[in-house]
Amino acid sequence: MTNKSADLDYEIFLIDHLERFVFSNLKSYLHSPLRTLHPTLLLVKSEERFKSMIYYLHSIDLFKESEIEKQIRLYPYLDPETNPGVERDTVRKLDSEMLPKHYDEVLTAIKKFRFAVQNQVGMHQISELRKQTFHIYAFHQDTKNIELVPNEIKTHIEQTQRSDLSYENHRLKIESFTEYFETLYTAYSNDSEPLWKLLGFTDTTFQTIQKFHRLSNISNKNQRQLNELKRLSGGQDVRFEILIDYAVEKANNYFNCSLINHYEAKVRSLEHKNNMIDQLLGIEPSAFKSPYRKKRPKRHKDYFYPHNIDQLNKMKKDNNRIKSNCKTEAERLKNPENEQDSSDTTKDHFNFTLKLLDSNPDLKMRLKKLI
């Protein structure tokens, strides 16, 4: 067996076990939509028939999460209507309480993987589709307790969950860079000449840009004007790279500020969650708590089953680990002089920005109009 065949077999092996785990949860978990959508399916013993029916229900969109359901799930505070005694917007949900329960995304990802294998696409694409499938399911209600995940896929699920911090950072970087360039465009869309001066353009370049804009705005161009516009367009590409080179450092500084705020908010959220866990375990609140705050009845550890206590302690330990990492990263970003910035880092930001703008052609086109 070749290495390529072995790699393919392993990717299929992982998806097979993940799919089996999905079906097992659909058939047994209390939040399984089958309990309301199709309860008789829970009695089906044939694995193949059950699988066939699941994918049929998926094909008619019965496993999709509605926009209203998604908004309710992602709302950060507990709902008083479903949590009697809780005042509105006072008790924050745990991260695990905002994980999705629906199965449309993971089933769609499995089908895409199967289709890619069937059509013998490249190994790299198959591997990426498998990773995407695992990423979707790693942040689902079914996998919030890693100890319940089968051994065959547990390591991959756990690694994906632990890499969530870097995934969040990448998402935040995309948002921050996009926001910065949107702001840049807005600031100079009515008058671009101050920007040209910042970019160090000469008077000759000023005249070239103005001529380029005049020709671009002519609706019925003759052949001579078209030829001249084509000649000048090459200069716009060069000027665009100068603009990006000028802006990437500022965009990255904007991203770093957003990242610091993100880390500090994460620390506050984790501290709040640990205080909630302490209250559940009957541990006295931290010293910084207000002495005037109304005391709640003390809860004792014997109120919980032993495995609940273990889970709460593990959750608190994980929270402290993430909190420590967030604090370290925030301090590192606040002290940039400790970082050894290099031309390679600047080049990475430059290439990242070009790819980002290629994926957002409308923003790229508007930025080009500035120069």
Q: Domain spans of the chain? A: 3-65+100-162, 166-370
State pLDDT tens for residues 74-96. Answer: 887 877 777 666 677 776 676 67
CA angle 252, 357, 136 (to 5 degrees): 85
pLDDT (0 to 100) of residue 65? 92
State pLDDT tens for residues 152-169. Answer: 999 999 888 877 666 677
Residue whose pair of structure tokens reads 């609140």 in the numeric block: 285
State pLDDT tens for residues 60-74. Answer: 999 999 989 988 888
pLDDT (0 to 100) of residue 299? 44
Tell me the pLDDT of the chain averaged across its residues.
84
Q: Model-level pTM?
A: 0.53
pLDDT band at 353 (very low <50, low <70, confident <90, very high): very high
The least confident of 111-125, 300-314, 356-370 is: 300-314
pLDDT band at 172 (very low <50, low <70, confident <90, very high): confident
Maximum pairwise Cα distance, the chain: 88
Residue 290 has pLDDT above 50, yes or no: no
Q: What is the rounded distance in angstroms from the CA atom of residue 271 to the CA atom of residue 15?
A: 36
Q: What is the rounded distance in angstroms from the CA atom of residue 60 to the CA atom of residue 54?
A: 10
251 or 94, which is more confident: 251
Check if the beta carbon of residue 105 is closer than 8 Å to that of residue 136. Answer: yes
Check if the beta carbon of residue 218 is closer than 8 Å to that of residue 328. Answer: no
The least confident of 8-22, 124-138, 225-239 is: 225-239
